[in-house]
Structure 1
Amino acid sequence: MSGTRRWAGLGDAASVLVLAVAATVLLDALDTPSPSLFGGLLAGLVRGLAGRRRLTVPRSGMTAAQALIGVSVGGLVDVDTLAAIGQDWLAVLLVTIGTLLLTLLAGLLMRLQPGISPVTGAFGMIAGGASGITAMSRELGADERMVAVLQYLRVLLIVVLMPLAATVVFGVESGAGGPVTGEAGPGWPAGLLYAAVSVAVGLPLARLLRIPVPALLGSLLVAAVLDLSGLSRGAQLPAPLETVAFLLIGLAVGLNFTRESLRTIGRALPLALAVIVGVIVGCAGLGAVLTLTTGASALDAYLATTPGGLYAVLATARDGGADATFVLAVQVLRLFVMLLSAPLLARWLRRPDPA
């Protein structure tokens, strides 16, 4: 019986992967930005909502995908852009704080729904670090299941809307970022070595230093150092590996959205959708402020201030010709601010009401 279940599970996973690849090919033919990410998302959504049994991307697969994306983006880091961000640090910091306040207000609005506590609402709406916020929510007094559903509902909406916004509002075309990773440089064997060294050194180092999202940021930092120092000799992550990594990320987001999650959020769904859309629009407004105060392009500022969906942001930036260094720097700064402020927010929101 166990053997039959194992084969059924393998067949289930294989069918989802086939659907994801087919969706990716179709979206690529339609010149959709980030086709592998969006194709994986569509396949994951179909399986998550239609399947009776929960299916997830293995943790090892997610870690590998995050690490490979880190390598891909690390090769795009540009010193001049980092220096420019240093000059505009005040505007970037104020926009980051503005995002924090906006998501906190959104969380407090969730209190309008009976049964959602202030700390649960706030944690469910904090922008950035969905997995980290969910992991710490129970310890800090929030409803872990509700936080997870709200967080991934926000990520889902962002991933779905981002290709549309990039294409319709900002005129992004697929492949506008130039040659695909892996088509330049010394070739794929050197690219594989570059990726292997970046992951093998970056992941344990980031875990040792307790850096958030260690697979992504650890690999990214090492890859950037190798690239900027010239030690990589122009090597880049082979394009097929980057495609697979974004496809797995899209699958993971889609599979997290199940019929059970709909039942969990229940009557709060209409309010949650309205509040999340409000947060997305508000953050787009902060992006406009960032454009006016720093000189960043409208696309760069929009991607830099999007409230979550980091991997979709990186895929769109990579594929749409945006300044990935600027986008990533602002997103990572916000990630640190959100994760570090979460315990303080929980303590403040759980304080007893004055008599």
Structure 2
Amino acid sequence: MHSPTQPPVPEPLARLRPSLQWALLIALSVLFAGLLEGARLPAALLVGPMMAAIVCGTNGARMRVPQPAFGAAQTIVGCLVAASIEPEILSAFLDDWPLFLLAVIATVCASSFLGYLISRWKVLPGTTAVWGSAPGAATAMVLMADAFGADARLVAFMQYLRVIFVSVAAALIARMFVDTSDVEAPALIWFPDIDGPAFAATILVAVAGGSLGYLLRLPSPYFLGTMMLGATVHLGAGITMQLPEWLLAISYALVGWSIGLNFNRAILRHATRALRQIVLSILALMVFCGGLAWLLVLLLDIDPLTAYLATSPGGMDSVAIIAAASDTVNISFIMALQMVRFLFVLIFGPPISRLVARRIGG
């Protein structure tokens, strides 16, 4: 109940019809995603709609993404992750697997410790900071964090803020070793020719994987069920999946809206108050990973840019684009270390979260 001296803050969108609220949300999503794409910032197709949804949610919008649509979007993200796991990554991993595991475990331990400190100091509630600090797999961490009881809104805030920090830093450091000024991300083809068998395989994997995850009662069932089934058929049977850009854009928007529309002014104020600690934890993790890169240079005699991009804690898409700009870096090594860490976090994120929850008594 508001006191007479503190009248309720007006929420202008609460008076609009749902159809107008949706129209505004879509328009803002297109605008924000376009601006982020123009600035070459990563994950624009997800972060843009999420920002638009936060604006609408904190101004009184009451609409929500239907649960079946959100589940379908998660299955497409699961297909995307499964399709990105290639056999070449395994061979690159086997060549230097002890150092790979050491680098991955060290990074995950450092990020988990930073998340533990933020949780212990009551900066963020529960295990939210642990999920938010997890290196890489930003979208997957947000989806899984929600399934394990963490605040997905604050996890998303931490994850995508770090993705932006890391991607900008990687681009700046890359310019010390190679001129990337003329390198652009591949042009987006929104409506490619549909490969019938590959697209059908994607839909079948999404439907079957989501159903399997639900029946097995997996955490984040639609994402994890689809990812596991998709990886099995992709690596085991060599089945190719097609994920056209329009399908990814719709799925990213649904995920971003589902997160952003749950923001309110109180949670936004909380995120703003924690901004300084979150930024410091991001910078600390980046410095730690820079130290790991330096050790890889000494131990493996690889070039500094390869080492830095391989250990960079997030922004895998941006790292791949930057790596492609140089003829001197070892792209297989970079993507293998990034993917191994990605899979490690997916597998061990839940038990690490439970361990921290026990430690902080939450």
2:158 is matched with which residue? 154
- d(CA) in 1 for partners of 2:199 and 2:148? 35
Contact 1:37/1:249 (<8 A) preserved: yes
The residue correspondences of 1:38-117 to structure 2 (distance < 5 A) are 38-49=47-58, 51-53=59-61, 56-110=64-118, 113=121
**1:241 aligned onto 2:251:** no
Shift of 1:127: 1.7
- Aligned partner of residue 205 in structure 1, secondary structure: helix
- Which deviations, in whole Å up to 9, do the C-alpha atoms of 1:60-81 show, x marking residues without a partner? 3332222213323433332121
Contact 1:107/1:118 (<8 A) preserved: no
Shift of 1:333: 0.9
1:259 is matched with which residue? 265
1:203 is matched with which residue? 210
Q: Give the unaligned 5+ runs of structure 1.
A: 138-143, 307-312
1:310 is matched with which residue? none
- d(CA) in 2 for partners of 1:263 and 1:192? 43
Name the stretch that deviates more: 167-176 or 38-47: 167-176
1:17 is matched with which residue? 26
Contact 2:21/2:61 (<8 A) preserved: no
Shift of 1:332: 2.0
Name the stretch that deviates more: 16-25 or 193-202: 16-25
CA change 1:247–1:149 in 2 (3 A) is closer
Shift of 1:193: 0.9
Contact 1:182/1:237 (<8 A) preserved: no
Match of 1:279 among 285, 290, 296: 285
Q: Give the partner amino acid of 1:157.
A: L
Shift of 1:241: 0.7
CA change 1:221–1:110 in 2 (3 A) is closer
CA change 1:275–1:148 in 2 (3 A) is same
1:328 is matched with which residue? 339
1:141 is matched with which residue? none
- Aligned partner of residue 248 in structure 1, secondary structure: helix
Contact 2:293/2:311 (<8 A) preserved: yes
Contact 2:132/2:156 (<8 A) preserved: no
- Which deviations, in whole Å up to 9, do the C-alpha atoms of 1:44-93 show, x marking residues without a partner? 343344x1345554433332222213323433332121232244333333
Contact 2:112/2:352 (<8 A) preserved: no
Match of 2:168 among 164, 169, 174: 164
Q: Give the unaligned 5+ runs of structure 2.
A: 1-13, 136-140, 175-179, 325-330
Shift of 1:150: 4.5
Name the stretch that deviates more: 147-156 or 337-346: 147-156
- d(CA) in 2 for partners of 1:15 and 1:340? 40
**1:343 aligned onto 2:354:** yes
Name the stretch that deviates more: 119-128 or 55-64: 119-128
Contact 1:95/1:286 (<8 A) preserved: yes
Aligned-residue sequence identity (percent) comes to 25
2:185 is matched with which residue? 175
- Aligned partner of residue 297 in structure 1, secondary structure: helix
Shift of 1:112: 7.8
CA change 1:284–1:164 in 2 (3 A) is same
CA change 1:223–1:100 in 2 (3 A) is closer
Shift of 1:102: 2.0
CA change 1:84–1:163 in 2 (3 A) is closer
TM score, norm. by length of structure 2 = 0.69
Name the stretch that deviates more: 288-297 or 199-208: 288-297
TM score, norm. by length of structure 1 = 0.70
CA change 1:52–1:182 in 2 (3 A) is closer
- d(CA) in 2 for partners of 1:76 and 1:48? 33
